């Protein structure tokens, strides 16, 4: 039983790491606080629904329709933790979905980022002049928090 509980997936399977309630919970929490929500990457104002984004921003709605993103991508979490024999899949899921590992992006930026780390996304997108100055700081803070949580589990 213990061997199965601590068995790491042999290959990357996003469903092992996905917590379907964590991202919507993070998004809802920010909107409950009543703050203006902006994209971590571009600084653009974000709204909570596609319908609202389309009504306000028209053709540029995908820049303003909010999506929650993992700063340290789930695939990267898998690569970092797959060989740790002391972590269960539940531990890996918890580490991937810590609140400090979430950021808000516009729909188009989140689709572009995919499995890239924030550093890769910033480097690949910075040449287009779209990246918000604070994105570098957010990425560094999330990577540090993610690393600390991984170490705490040991």
User: Hey, where are the domains in the chain?
Assistant: 2-9+20-152
CA 154 to chain centre: 23
What's the pLDDT score for residue 128? 57
What's the pLDDT score for residue 147? 63
Phi and psi at residue 134, to the nearest 5°: -75, -10
Within the chain, which residues score under 50 in pLDDT? none
What's the pLDDT score for residue 46? 93
The DSSP result for the chain, as a single string, is: -HHHHTPPPSS--HHHH--TTHHHHHHHHHHHTTPPPB-TTT--B-BS-HHHHHHHHGGGGGGTBEEEEESS-HHHHHHHHTT-TT--HHHHHHHHT-GGGEEEEEHHHHHHHTT--HHHHHHHHHTTT---TTHHHHHHHHHHHHHHHHHHT-
**Whether 33 contacts 51, CB under 8 Å:** no
What's the pLDDT score for residue 21? 94
What's the pLDDT score for residue 68? 92
């Amino acid at each position: 039983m213990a061997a199965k509980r601590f068995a790491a997936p042999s290959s990357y399977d996003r469903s092992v790491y996905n917590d379907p309630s964590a991202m919507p919970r993070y998004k809802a929490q920010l909107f409950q606080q009543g703050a203006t929500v902006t994209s971590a990457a571009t600084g653009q104002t974000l709204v909570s629904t596609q319908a609202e984004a389309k009504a306000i921003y028209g053709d540029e709605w995908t820049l303003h329709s909010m999506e929650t993103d993992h700063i340290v991508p789930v695939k990267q979490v898998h690569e970092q933790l797959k060989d740790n024999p002391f972590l269960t899949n539940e531990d890996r899921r918890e580490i991937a979905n810590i609140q400090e590992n979430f950021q808000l992006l516009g729909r188009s930026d989140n689709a572009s980022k995919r499995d890239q780390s924030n550093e890769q996304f910033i480097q690949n997108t910075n040449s287009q002049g779209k990246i918000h100055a604070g994105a570098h700081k957010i990425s560094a803070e999330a990577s540090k928090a993610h690393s600390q949580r991984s170490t705490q589990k040991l």
